[in-house]
Amino acid sequence: MSYTHATGKSKKDLVSYQSVRGADVKAIFEQITEVTPLKQLYSDFGRPETGGNSTSTIDDTVQFLHAIDFVERSDDRIVKPIEGQPFADLPFELRVLHHLKQQSGNQEHFMELHRLLAKQDAQFYDKELLVEEAKRELEYSFDWNTEKVQTWYNLVGPFGLVSVHDNQGILTSPSPRLVYDLLSAFMESEDGSNRVRDALNWIENRFCSCYAERGGSTPIVHRGLAETLSTMQYDDSLTLTSMSDTHKHVSIPTLQSKTTSSFELGERPTRPAYEYPLAAHRVEVAQ
């Protein structure tokens, strides 16, 4: 299934949507099931204020959804979903990562920042250090600053790609649910294949960065993902094994064996740690 780019998209840098949050992106898109008048979204999501509802965040979120090819806008009054996109049956969190990965030119900066973070090979990384690395390594038509990095993790954090500690340190470990679903999607797409290296290459090319170093005979999984894989193995939701075909190995620094070549998924635990952050929050509130 081919990917469809929306027409007439804004050229605004994706990390410049400072009012947009991951929770808003998901909630508003889930209300756009057919041709939807913007006034309906204003009614559903507008924040009351003197003189009526505030709609600026809704406008920004719809524009962001348009920029990453979830919706089309034939005029300024209505919005409709783009049908037939790849991976439409996957959780919204994974679909967002795939759509972000499909952006090109100046807009590739969003997932390139994640690649740069993975390259640092640290489980925790300081926000200001990431700003400085982006200034050195990622040259685009805008200047990186703290606000743009904050916008980035305010968008991807709720989808489980990273999390933030004390508004300063970025935890690079993706959520176990995100990794579990990506590995499951790979197996379904590739006729049940359980090769770790093939799976991580597939994920890296379609969703998000997996490696701190991809060159050489044995790619090195970045520290944050390695920690999540180790957690999943401890929880029995994932089994990693090493076989003799070393050309299919990857290096996972947190494992005692250090390298692995195949995997098997177990039953996914039902506790909040194995939910996406937005869903886990609802579960924790309900308990």
Q: What pLDDT shows up at residue 51?
A: 54
Cα 152 to its chain centre, rounded Å, is 10
Q: What pLDDT shows up at residue 246?
A: 56
- Work out the average pLDDT over 109-114: 98
pLDDT > 60? residue 6? yes
Q: Which residues pair with 47 in a beta bridge?
A: 54
pLDDT > 70? residue 219? yes
Sorted by where each begins, the domain ranges of the chain are: 14-81, 92-171, 176-272
Give the three-class secondary structure for 265: strand
Q: What pLDDT shows up at residue 285?
A: 34
Mean pLDDT, the chain, whole residue set: 91
Q: Which residues pair with 220 in a beta bridge?
A: 213, 251
Q: What pLDDT shows up at residue 283?
A: 39
Residues 197 and 246: their CA atoms lie apart, in Å, by 10
Q: Which residues pair with 264 in a beta bridge?
A: 239
User: If pLDDT is split at 50, 70 and 90, which confidence band does 217 have?
Assistant: confident
User: For residue 131, what is the enclosing H or E element?
Assistant: helix 127-137
pLDDT > 70? residue 120? yes
Angle at 139 between CA 138 and CA 145, to 5 degrees: 75
**pLDDT tens for residues 57-99?**
999 999 999 999 999 998 889 999 999 999 999 999 999 999 9
**pLDDT tens for residues 225-257?**
999 999 999 999 999 998 765 567 899 888 777
**pLDDT tens for residues 181-196?**
999 999 999 999 999 9
Q: What pLDDT shows up at residue 100?
A: 98
Q: What pLDDT shows up at residue 74?
A: 82
Q: What pLDDT shows up at residue 287?
A: 32
Q: For the range 40-44, what are the long-range contacts, defined as Cβ-Cβ under 8 Å and sequence gap of 24 or more?
A: 41/79
**Whether 194 contacts 211, CB under 8 Å:** no
Q: What is the DSSP letter of 108?
A: G
User: If pLDDT is split at 50, 70 and 90, which confidence band does 258 have?
Assistant: confident
- Residue in the block written with tokens 């999390």: 163
